[in-house]
């Protein structure tokens, strides 16, 4: 349970990224403050696609069940061509179906405000709170900390912290004050009307997408609500970009040819422009950027919100480790690991956007490449193994799940045993003799018949299939669910050196 005391981290921005970081710090006992300039929670559905890797993160944070209960997996897409021909596209990549190493095989549709709601409630359970109506106005940093000025209802407050994290979106005050370049472009020719509306005359069994000579329009039912998210592309020559009910209705009728669908007054609406940008650096000494403050993507492929959440998850355990005494150099790995991921997401989302424009659609194809299960950190300073380049699973990869593991407490999934967010060492052979056992390290050993804590039997062979071990293999899983080390030789000295290096900073 987190308790208020001297603040270690100031988080600016209480969207999905800032909330994820706050929950991660709270459960690890790191003192923080989470401020948000807005007077209350944001309105509008905004991002609505939660990718499988993000749901795995939510499992670890304790919010997956709630998020899933308010969403829908594998929502089918009904594509209607200008001639009225209809095609139904499945929402689940068939190649992932039934795999024991992948608990979630498709994206979940749920409005972004539901994500924030679940994270805020989890934060409250841990003793944390969002300070709404609190805006960062200035900050200065030295080698030993950051002094920030916060405006609350016109009254300035000065706070001293060890670290400042900007999770305050595309117009980030933190990024601008740090003078970190935000390179990219704004494509004014690619615009979209987005609104949350109730609709009469349309069932909620699928995501409807109509294409026309004028441009596409879509209506996506938002689970756990009575509304749809409306999207309509704005062409280069289109003059009307009003967010009024009349314009939304007229656009829908022109592009669908249907007059039986009636929209209600929008609950929220915006005109989206294609901003595609990436910061030159994720860090300026004691100041970090995460989420949209660091990268803005096209919504094609549903990557933006998910990438920000995983930024926060990567940064959170590292900040907690340094706060607990690990070498500050560990924080260098945040940018080294996450910026290449964002660059790759930009490339993917740009390609999906180009394809969507070519196809006269607003939603790119969904397949395994958008699920973020293949995001990893091979080549990172925190990735070490003695495997060859051609091996399927390497250090830096997402640690696969495995089902039907028998323990003295019953049958479990591997993710059940690793979700607490600590380092986990799995031994496929004899128990390793470590030079030192860090506090919080979880030890698991694969045996024929479990007789004590930490022992497990791979009854269905799913663990062996996922990890391809020898009878001596050691696998060290990081707190964020990625593989830090694999030694098929069973090199306990390497595992000891790795864990010691996290504390000493000797992982270059």
**pLDDT lower than 50: segments of the chain:** 1-5, 504-508
Specify whether 284 is located in the same domain as 390: no
Pair 266, 199: CB distance under 8 Å: no
Specify whether 282 is located in the same domain as 162: yes
Confidence (pLDDT) at 239: 66
Domain that holds residue 153: 9-39+53-62+111-184+275-370
Q: Tens of pLDDT along 261-276?
A: 999 999 999 998 878 8
Bridging pattern class, strands 455-458 and 442-446: parallel
Q: How far apart are CA 267 and CA 289, in angstroms?
A: 31
Q: How far apart are CA 142 and CA 96, in angstroms?
A: 49
Specify whether 136 is located in the same domain as 30: yes
Confidence (pLDDT) at 89: 86
CA 49 to chain centre: 11
Q: What is the CATH number for 17? A: 3.50.50.60
Using only C-alpha atoms, what is the Rg of the chain? 24
Where do the H-state alpha helices sit in 74-219? 112-125, 173-178
Bridging pattern class, strands 217-221 and 283-284: unpaired
For residue 93 the two structure tokens come to 């990549």
Confidence (pLDDT) at 414: 97
CA 293 to chain centre: 14
Q: What is the DSSP string of 355-371?
A: HHHHTT-SSPPPSGGGS
Specify whether 358 is located in the same domain as 401: no
Confidence (pLDDT) at 371: 85
Give kind and range of the element (H or E) at residue 274: strand 268-279
Q: Is residue 311 part of a domain?
A: yes
Q: How far apart are CA 152 and CA 166, in angstroms?
A: 18
Pair 45, 222: CB distance under 8 Å: yes
Q: Is residue 224 part of a domain?
A: no
Specify whether 391 is located in the same domain as 322: no
Specify whether 365 is located in the same domain as 446: no
Q: What is the CATH number for 434? A: 3.40.30.120
Pair 428, 468: CB distance under 8 Å: no
Confidence (pLDDT) at 362: 57
* Count of Cβ atoms closer than 10 Å to residue 44 Cβ: 17
Domain end: 370, 399, 431, which one? 370
Specify whether 35 is located in the same domain as 164: yes
Q: Is residue 105 part of a domain?
A: no
Confidence (pLDDT) at 259: 95
Specify whether 157 is located in the same domain as 287: yes
Q: How far apart are CA 189 and CA 212, in angstroms?
A: 18
Q: Is residue 71 part of a domain?
A: no
Specify whether 422 is located in the same domain as 461: yes
Structural domains in the chain (count): 2
Pair 207, 78: CB distance under 8 Å: yes
Q: Is residue 116 part of a domain?
A: yes
Pair 194, 363: CB distance under 8 Å: no
Confidence (pLDDT) at 2: 35
Q: Please give, one letter per residue, the 3-state secondary structure of 445-484.
A: EECCCCCCCCEEEECCCHHHHHHCCCCCCEEEECCCCEEE
Domain end: 370, 395, 426, which one? 370
Among 51, 80, 24, which residue's Cα sits nearest to residue 299? 51
* Helix, strand, or coil (residue 23): helix
Q: Tens of pLDDT along 385-430?
A: 999 999 999 999 999 999 999 999 999 999 999 988 899 999 999 9
Q: Is residue 447 part of a domain?
A: yes
Specify whether 340 is located in the same domain as 459: no
Specify whether 163 is located in the same domain as 302: yes
Residues in CB range of 304: below 8 A, 6 or more apart: 47, 292, 295, 296, 297, 345, 349
Confidence (pLDDT) at 353: 66
Q: Is residue 396 part of a domain?
A: yes
Specify whether 364 is located in the same domain as 411: no
Among 373, 414, 403, which residue's Cα sits nearest to residue 107? 373
Q: How far apart are CA 503 and CA 5, in angstroms?
A: 24
Q: How far apart are CA 139 and CA 285, in angstroms?
A: 13
Pair 34, 128: CB distance under 8 Å: yes
Residues in CB range of 431: below 8 A, 6 or more apart: 443, 445
Query: E-assigned strands of 4-85?
Result: 9-12, 32-36, 49-50, 72-73, 77-80
Domain end: 370, 404, 435, which one? 370
């Amino acid at each position: 349970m987190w308790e208020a005391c001297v603040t270690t981290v100031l988080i600016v921005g209480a969207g999905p990224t800032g909330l994820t970081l706050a929950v991660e710090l709270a459960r690890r006992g790191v003192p923080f403050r989470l401020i948000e300039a807005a007077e209350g929670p944001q309105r509008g559905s905004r991002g609505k696609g939660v990718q499988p890797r993000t749901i795995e993160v939510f499992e670890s944070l304790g919010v997956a069940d709630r998020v899933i209960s308010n969403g829908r997996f594998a929502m089918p897409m009904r594509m209607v061509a200008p001639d009225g021909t209809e095609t139904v596209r499945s929402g689940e990549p068939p190649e992932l179906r039934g795999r024991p190493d992948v608990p979630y095989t498709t994206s979940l549709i749920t409005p972004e405000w539901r994500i924030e709601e679940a994270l805020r409630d989890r934060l409250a359970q841990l003793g944390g709170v969002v300070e709404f109506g609190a805006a960062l106005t200035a900050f200065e940093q030295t080698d030993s900390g950051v002094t920030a000025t916060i405006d609350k209802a016109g009254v300035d407050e000065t706070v001293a912290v060890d670290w400042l994290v900007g999770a305050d979106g595309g117009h980030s005050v933190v990024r601008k004050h740090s003078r970190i370049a935000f390179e990219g472009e704004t494509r004014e020719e690619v615009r979209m009307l987005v609104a949350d509306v109730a609709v009469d005359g349309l069932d909620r069994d699928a995501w409807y997408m109509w294409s026309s000579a004028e441009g596409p329009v879509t209506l996506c039912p938002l689970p756990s609500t009575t509304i749809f998210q409306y999207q309509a592309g704005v062409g280069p020559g289109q003059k009307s970009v009003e967010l009024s009910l009349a314009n939304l209705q007229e656009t829908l009728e022109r592009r669908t040819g249907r007059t039986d669908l009636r929209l209600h007054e929008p609950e929220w609406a915006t005109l989206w422009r294609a901003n595609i940008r990436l910061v030159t650096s994720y860090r300026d000494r004691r100041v970090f950027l995460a989420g949209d403050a660091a990268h803005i993507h096209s919504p094609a492929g549903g990557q933006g919100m998910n990438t920000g959440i995983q930024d926060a998850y990567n940064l959170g355990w590292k900040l907690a480790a340094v706060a607990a005494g690990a070498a500050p150099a560990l924080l260098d790995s945040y940018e080294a690991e996450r910026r290449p991921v964002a660059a790759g997401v930009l490339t993917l989302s740009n390609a999906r956007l180009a394809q969507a424009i070519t196809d006269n659609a607003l939603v790119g194809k969904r397949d395994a490449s958008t699920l973020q299960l293949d995001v990893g950190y091979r080549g990172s300073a925190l990735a070490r193994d003695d495997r060859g380049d051609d091996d399927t699973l390497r250090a830096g990869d997402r640690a696969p799940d495995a089902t039907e593991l028998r323990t003295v407490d019953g049958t479990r999934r591997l993710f059940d045993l690793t979700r607490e967010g600590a380092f986990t060492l799995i031994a496929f052979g004899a128990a390793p003799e470590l030079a030192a056992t860090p506090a919080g390290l979880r030890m698991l050993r694969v045996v024929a018949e479990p007789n004590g804590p930490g022992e497990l039997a791979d009854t269905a062979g799913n663990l062996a299939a996922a990890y391809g071990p020898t009878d001596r293999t050691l696998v060290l899983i990081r707190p964020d669910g990625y593989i830090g080390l694999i030694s098929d030789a069973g090199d306990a000295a390497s595992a000891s050196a790795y864990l010691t290096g996290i504390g000493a900073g000797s992982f270059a």
